[in-house]
Amino acid sequence: MKDSPLERASAFIQVIALLGIPAAGCVALVLLLQIPRFICGQAAPLLLVAEVGSLMVVFVLVLLLRACLALPSAPTRFYRNVLDFLAIAGWHPSVKVGLLGLIVLPPAWFLRSDHYWLISMLRIMGRRALASGDFQDELDRIAVLYQLALTGGVPLLFAMHMFSRWRPASRVLPWLLVPVLFVGAAIGVVLIVTIMH
């Protein structure tokens, strides 16, 4: 294993992943509107290719980083904790719940009011609903909600991950941070929207 190509390239792959996963993730987040526009047949081809490409880069780098972290020569301490976060490996269950919340809560918040007509519209009109301007606008709004929630929430998720590594013996404390994560992400969304306007 010591002479394997992966072992020799491991340090280089870790640096590439350390820089590449956040960079490609940011590109995917910025171009997130291309996915609902693709569903509605309105995506810009070059931006859609960039969006899909960035998601593929994230996926491949995460897999490569996970393979490197399974090697005996994998780093330890702070650097390992940072790489584990990027590789989505060895996360505390509370951090996983936090990520799940960041994925589930934006559409749940969006559908909390009178937006159930989207589902009814799809059921009644089928694919023809995708051509509706109102339907396209609502899908764009969901994508923007994801952009805001992840922009405000992922740094807090990282802090939560690092705290769970810093206090490994504490079973309750990481769980107490889950609601703090959601409140902090909501505050982050408000601040981002305020700065943008």
pLDDT tens digits for range 118-156:
666 666 766 666 666 667 777 788 888 888 889 889 999
Backbone conformation region of residue 80, classed left if phi is above 0, alpha if psi is from -120 to 50, else beta: alpha
pLDDT of residue 21: 96
- pLDDT of amino acid 1: 44
Positions in the chain whose pLDDT score sits under 50? 1
pTM listed for this prediction:
0.82
CB of 180 within 8 A of CB of 144? no
How many other C-beta atoms are found inside a 10 Å radius of the C-beta of residue 95? Answer: 24
Confidence (pLDDT) at 193 = 78
User: How far, in Å, CA of 30 to CA of 22, rounded?
Assistant: 12
Give the C-alpha separation, 146 to 167, whole Å: 30
What are the Cα distances from residue 172, in Å, to 81, 93, 96, 165, 168? 20, 11, 15, 13, 10
